[in-house]
A and B are shown apart, each in its own frame.
Chain A
Amino acid sequence: MHSDTVNETPEKDEIISFQDYSFTYLGSEFPVLSNINLTIRKGELVIIAGSSGCGKSTLLRSVNGLIPHMYRGETKGSVHVTGVDVSRVQVVNLAKKVGFVFQNPENQIFMFSVERDVAFGLENLGLPREVIRERVDWSLRLLNIEHLAQRAPHELSDGQKQRVALAGVLAMKPEVLILDEPTSLLDPSTAKELIEVVKMLNSELGVTVIIVEHRIDLIVSDATRVICMSKGEVKLDGSARYVLSDQDISLFGVSAPIPARLNLLLRNEGISLGKLPLTISELVEQINVKIK
């Protein structure tokens, strides 16, 4: 009933909104997303968690327009990005607002040099050469890969490739950055380094980040929000401490990081350490205070 007003004058700071949104892939009997109502505000860092097949990837594809423009199926309700209905705008125009980083950088790196690769999206927008140059340099510098500019992407390590993919997306200056399991092919320290870059983009540039990440522990202390999905529905949505303290989370195929789990296990034994810790150092501090 109020959907029209929401479309035209989005609530302050609202950047993405799902309204009674459902999607069923062509040829499938059941919706993979059902009745999603979700609002994400500018500058948020949102972790989407859930077991495989819960609809996470479909949710992301509905934000950058791959659904309904590339994947066919039946939609109900609507998705708006910066006030614009995703189904009514071309994917290329969405690409300016929404950057997407995939699990496997090979899917999005294909030029002969890193520099050309990062410039690719900008060239497609038909921007002037100086602007492209400037944006490419800015992007490479920000991700600390200026020294790789002339290298061939296929010679790079997995972590470097993922940074190149991120640089290409960032050069478009998107308002929203979506990452679908960006670290799953990376070793732990490389994963941590990439996540640090994502945190920096959020905290220093104010880019809104939506990330599907299994290594929740690497990013949870910076998240403004955790959304837990199961069977195509949003089951839990709130601050990291709120969502991770819900005992049902494991039923949805999500494991809270060890500090949170230990805190809860102790709480069940009648030992309260205080607020839910998101990092090991927080937990250590809580326990040490208690021991003394």
Chain B
Amino acid sequence: MIEFSSVEFQHPNGVIALKGIDLTIRSGDVISIVGENGAGKTSLIKHINGLLKPTKGSVSVFGVDTRKESVSALSRNIGIVFQNPSHQLFSESVEDEIRFGMINFGFEEELVAKRLNWALTLFDLERYRTISPMLLSGGEKKRLCFASVLSWDPKVVILDEPTSGQDFLQKENLMNVIKILSSQGKTVIIVTHDIEFIWPLQPRIVVMAGGQIVKDGSAENVLNDEDVLKRARLLKPHLLSLTEGLVVKPREQFSDVYDAKKWLVKTLRG
């Protein structure tokens, strides 16, 4: 349902940000896009809601060619939470910020109020309801962007570096939200360096370098590839290093510490 075919994108100044991109993302996928700064990750996601249009090739989203549709129409289905939240906040109060999208997409007033409360609660923002988004901390601004995007219930949620500036508890909360979204059948696309964060989701991972996709596969497959780790400037997840070092190996990779504990308890007790 999201289909990149031979996409190339060249900035007006001549710099080529993407080349030869072929990528299919299916409904309900949880997918992570990784790569060093400047690898083309943000350019790639901006093609999904039409903020950027390919200079060669095409991007189709739910069967619609992005060149033939407006950004606002595409955004009804595609919600992006950008890395720098200040770039997407502009309302006078936190609640107006969250309402904005829903009103634009023609939600009934009653539904707007209901979903506003839901989003404020989910992201722990109720106490800031009437204050200006500019007064929030970096982490809070980020949660506000997330709340705004989820309020209009897009089918695809794209998160650009969602864990930056978030502490441990906020990350756990974010993980729960992602799991809920995934269980609702939403497509979740996470652009991140935070391999430890995404590892428990065991997502499909797409690795980018120099504007191209250099690897696309399961988390285990991609993150075991030393060459890819080097190119994308990533470190191997702890749990993967753990199984690598063990003299007796588990049948499957540990997805989180609880999973590892279970196997270790069984193995160590004999």
Residues on A lying within 8 angstroms of B by beta carbon are: 50-53, 157-158, 184-185, 187-190, 192, 214, 217, 250, 253-255, 257-259, 261-262, 265-266, 269, 271, 280-281, 283-284, 287-288, 290-292
Contact = CB atoms under 8 A, between A and B. Distances in A.
B165 interface: yes
A188 B257 contact: no
Nearest to B193: A187
Contacts, number: 96
Contact of A255 (B168, B195, B248): B168
A212 B239 CA distance: 24
8 contacts: A51-B168, A52-B165, A52-B166, A185-B164, A189-B235, A258-B239, A280-B242, A290-B268
B37 A187 contact: yes
A184 B166 CA distance: 10
Contacts of B195: 188
A257 B238 contact: yes
A53 B246 CA distance: 39
B91 to A, nearest CB: 23
Interface of B: 36-38, 137, 139, 164-171, 193, 195-196, 230, 232-235, 238-239, 241-242, 245-248, 257-258, 260-261, 264-265, 267-269
A249 B35 CA distance: 32
Given A157-B38, A266-B261, A280-B238, 8 more contacts: A52-B139, A187-B36, A187-B193, A189-B234, A258-B238, A262-B260, A262-B261, A291-B267
Contact of B233 (A51, A189, A217, A255): A189
Contacts of B245: 280-281, 284, 288
Given A52-B165, A271-B269, A288-B245, A217 B261 contact: no
Q: Which of A217, A257, A284 has the most CB of B within 10 A?
A: A284
B136 to A, nearest CB: 11
Given A189-B234, A266-B261, A266-B265, A291 B168 contact: no
Given A187-B193, A188-B195, A266-B261, A51 B169 contact: yes
A271 B266 CA distance: 11
Contacts of B196: 258
Residues of B contacting A: mostly: helix
Given A187-B193, A250-B168, A280-B238, A266 B137 contact: no
Contacts of A184: 164-165
A267 to B, nearest CB: 10
Given A253-B168, A283-B242, A288 B268 contact: no
Given A52-B165, A52-B170, A187-B37, A265 B233 contact: no
A60 B164 CA distance: 20
A51 B264 CA distance: 30
Contacts of A254: 167-168
Contact of B247 (A157, A192, A269, A288): A288
Given A189-B233, A189-B234, A261-B257, A287 B139 contact: no
Contacts of A255: 168, 171
Contacts of B169: 51, 250, 253
Nearest to A193: B233
